[in-house]
Amino acid sequence: MTTKIEIIEPHSGELGEAIKHADHVFEAEEYHYESGQKLEVAVHNVSDDEYHIFTDLDSGHRFKIPPQKYRLLG
Q: Summarize pLDDT for 44-64 with one digit per residue, the tens.
A: 999 999 999 999 999 988 899
pLDDT (tens digit, 9 = 90+) per residue, 18-35?
Answer: 776 555 555 567 889 999
| Amino acid present at 14 | E
Q: Report CA dihedral (68, 69, 73, 74) to the nearest 10 degrees.
A: -60
Angle formed at CA 35 by CA 26 and CA 73, multiple of 5 degrees? 95
Rounded distance between C-alpha atoms, residue 63 and residue 52, angstroms: 8
CATH number, residue 29 = 2.30.30
Q: Quote the domain boundaries for residue 55.
A: 2-72
Q: Is the pLDDT reported for residue 36 higher than 70?
A: yes
Q: Write out the DSSP string of 34-63.
A: -TT-EEEEEEEE---SS-EEEEETTT--EE
pTM score: 0.84
Q: Name the domain count of the chain.
A: 1
